[in-house]
């Protein structure tokens, strides 16, 4: 079964065509700056990638280009659109409605729309992607895979905020988490690498990319996570501040004369590694600057690693121990220096990084010492594969008449 995975952002549309039975990535690409004069389309696998300037007024135009590129040229991934069996959509916010992936129908679309208040940029874009697919591939089965559904197992003591209870009742203000598909994937893969059932393990999963989040997964069940009502909470990130004293918000708004939207922008786009270093949101540039003696870049590095270290401590306390710590995404997978800083000083907790293994590059691997009580594992994330797999399972079950 060939599944087209769509990840629609506010001005982008990422896609992969995956054959789920053979685990083959058949095509991938991204339309960027959709709706602007600088719109462009990258399409192709690795060395065969081409970048084309293309006019895209909206996601509908972008989807038409994507489908055209899948069937045209001598490297066409498929001969005709009828070879696409189903579409899987990444949806950021599933709120209280979706504790698992679902087949998309009118009711699901209405609920995704209703939840857009909690994720205006993301859910709105996903709906544009869904409508564009309905237009260009009428009748094709589509599945919604939610970033939040992995965290619907959080107990109330983890997802409630200590605010007046009425705010929860009136606006559904609570922790929903994000990056759930990534945390689900790396926890499953970690169990395979450790050759133990996921249900027997206490895991801390760390998704450290431009966006960062940590989760506590106790015997296969997510019990806490660092992102909150929105993906701004928790760890320090590339441009996001993560958790700060909430009283800072009205203080800065008053003193800098900022609107709520400007304050939101400051915390989401001008903070984190970028805000502290003044150099970049990209850890590679911050690393270079810190190695050249830039003190603010050094501070940003220190703060980032300290922020992750504190979540490791929290989640060990929440679960009463940990068997393995799993890292993924750009920083988690690639930055040996950051990993060294995160795990330095954690030896008394039985967490011992192997300096030599930490330096190696490669695919899934254990980087703790052989006698470390807690394993440290790197798992390159693959959210698209999870979306394709969920889509396959739901559409396949529907075809053979199995009710969920």
Active site residues: 147
| Minimum distance, C-beta of residue 238 to ligand AMP, in the bound complex (Å) | 5
**HEC sequence for 102-131:** EECCHHHHHHHHHHHHCCHHHHHHHHHHHH
- The CA distances from residue 9 to 34, 355, 360, in Å, are 9, 38, 34
Beta carbons of 330 and 209 less than 8 angstroms apart: yes
Q: Please state whether beta strands 142-146 and 102-103 pair in parallel, antiparallel, or not at all (unpaired).
A: antiparallel
The answer to whether 208 is a known ligand-binding residue is yes
Minimum CB separation of residue 332 from ligand AMP in Å reads: 8
Confirm or deny that 264 is annotated as ligand binding.
Answer: no
Collapse the DSSP code of 347 into the 3-class scheme (helix H, G, I; strand E, B; otherwise coil) and give the result. Answer: helix
The answer to whether 144 and 105 have CB atoms below 8 angstroms apart is no
88 labeled part of a ligand binding site: no
Q: Measured from the CB atom, is 133 or 283 closer to ligand AMP?
A: 283
Which residues, at least 6 apart from 38, have a Cβ–Cβ distance to it below 8 Å? none
Residue 350 marked in a binding site: no
Give the C-alpha separation, 53 to 42, whole Å.
Answer: 9
How many angstroms separate the Cα of 333 from the Cα of each of 14, 196, 208, 300, 376? 21, 22, 8, 19, 12
Contact 342, 303 (CB under 8 A): no
Strand pairing class (142-146; 202-208):
unpaired
Tell me: is residue 100 an annotated ligand-binding position. no
* 99 marked as binding residue: no
Report the residue number, 180 or 238, with the smaller CB distance to ligand AMP: 238
Burial 335-373 (b: 16+ CB within 10 A, else e): beebbebbbeebeeeebbbbeebbeeeeebbbbbbeebe
Q: Cβ neighbours of residue 235 under 8 Å, at least 6 residues apart?
A: 208, 212, 213, 214, 226, 242, 243, 304, 307, 308, 311
Q: How far is the CB of 312 from ligand AMP (least distance, A)?
A: 19
383 is in an annotated binding site: yes
CB of 10 to ligand AMP, least distance (A): 16
Residue 294 among known ligand-binding residues: no
- d(CA 391, CA 388) in angstroms, rounded, equals 5
- Pick the closer one to ligand AMP by CB: 207 or 389: 207
Q: How far is the CB of 271 from ligand AMP (least distance, A)?
A: 14
C-beta of 77 vs 267, nearer to ligand AMP = 267
| Residue 215 near residue 224, CB atoms below 8 Å | yes
Distant-in-sequence, close-in-space partners of 256: CB < 8 Å, separation ≥ 6: none
Residues at the interface with ligand AMP (CB under 6 A) = 209-210, 238, 282-284, 287, 329-331, 334-335
> Going by DSSP bridges, is the β-strand pair 40-43/24-32 parallel, antiparallel, or unpaired?
antiparallel
- Least Å distance, CB 349 to ligand AMP, is 25
Given the complex with ligand AMP, which of 372 and 381 has the nearer CB atom? 381
Residue 58 CB, shortest distance to ligand AMP, in Å, is 25
Question: Of the two residues 70 and 289, which places its CB atom closer to ligand AMP in the complex?
Answer: 289
**DSSP-based three-state secondary structure for 90:** strand
Residues in binding site for ATP: 14, 207-211, 282-284, 330-334
Residues in binding site: 7, 14, 90, 207-211, 282-284, 330-334, 383
Residues in binding site for substrate: 90
């Amino acid at each position: 079964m060939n599944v087209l995975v769509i990840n629609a952002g506010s001005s982008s549309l990422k896609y992969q065509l995956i054959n789920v039975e053979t685990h083959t990535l058949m095509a991938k690409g991204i339309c960027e700056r959709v709706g602007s004069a600088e719109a462009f389309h990258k399409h192709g696998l690795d060395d065969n990638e081409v970048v084309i300037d293309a006019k895209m007024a909206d996601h509908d135009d972008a989807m038409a280009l994507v489908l055209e590129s899948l069937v045209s040229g001598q490297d066409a991934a498929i001969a005709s659109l009828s070879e696409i069996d189903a579409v899987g959509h990444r949806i950021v916010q599933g709120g209280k409605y979706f504790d698992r992936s679902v087949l998309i129908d009118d009711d699901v679309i209405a609920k995704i729309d209703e939840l857009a208040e909690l994720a205006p940029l993301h859910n709105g874009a996903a709906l544009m992607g869904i409508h564009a697919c309905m237009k260009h591939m009428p009748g094709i089965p589509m599945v919604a895979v939610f970033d939040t559904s992995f965290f619907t197992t959080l107990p109330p003591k983890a997802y409630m905020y200590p605010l007046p209870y009425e705010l929860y009742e009136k606006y559904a203000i609570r922790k929903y988490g994000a990056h759930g598909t990534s945390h689900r994937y790396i926890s499953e893969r970690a169990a395979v690498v450790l050759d133990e059932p996921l249900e027997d393990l206490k895991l801390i999963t760390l998704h450290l990319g431009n966006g960062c989040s940590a989760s506590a997964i106790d015997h296969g069940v997510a019990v806490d996570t660092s992102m909150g009502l929105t993906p701004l909470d928790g760890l320090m990130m590339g441009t996001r501040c993560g958790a700060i004293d909430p009283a800072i918000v009205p203080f800065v708004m008053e003193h800098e004369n900022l609107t709520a939207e400007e304050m939101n922008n400051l915390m989401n786009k001008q903070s984190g590694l970028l805000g502290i270093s003044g150099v970049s949101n990209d850890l590679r540039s911050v690393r270079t600057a810190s190695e050249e003696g830039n003190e603010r870049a050094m501070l940003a590095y220190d703060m980032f690693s300290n922020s992750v270290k504190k979540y490791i401590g929290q989640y060990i306390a929440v679960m009463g121990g940990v068997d393995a710590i799993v890292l993924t995404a750009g920083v988690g997978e690639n930055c040996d220096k950051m990993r060294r800083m995160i795990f330095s000083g954690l030896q008394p907790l039985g967490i011992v990084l192997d300096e030599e293994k930490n330096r190696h590059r490669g695919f899934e691997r254990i980087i703790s010492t052989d006698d470390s009580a807690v394993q440290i594992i790197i798992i390159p994330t693959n959210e698209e594969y999870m979306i394709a797999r969920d889509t396959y399972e739901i559409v396949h079950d529907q075809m053979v008449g199995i009710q969920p």
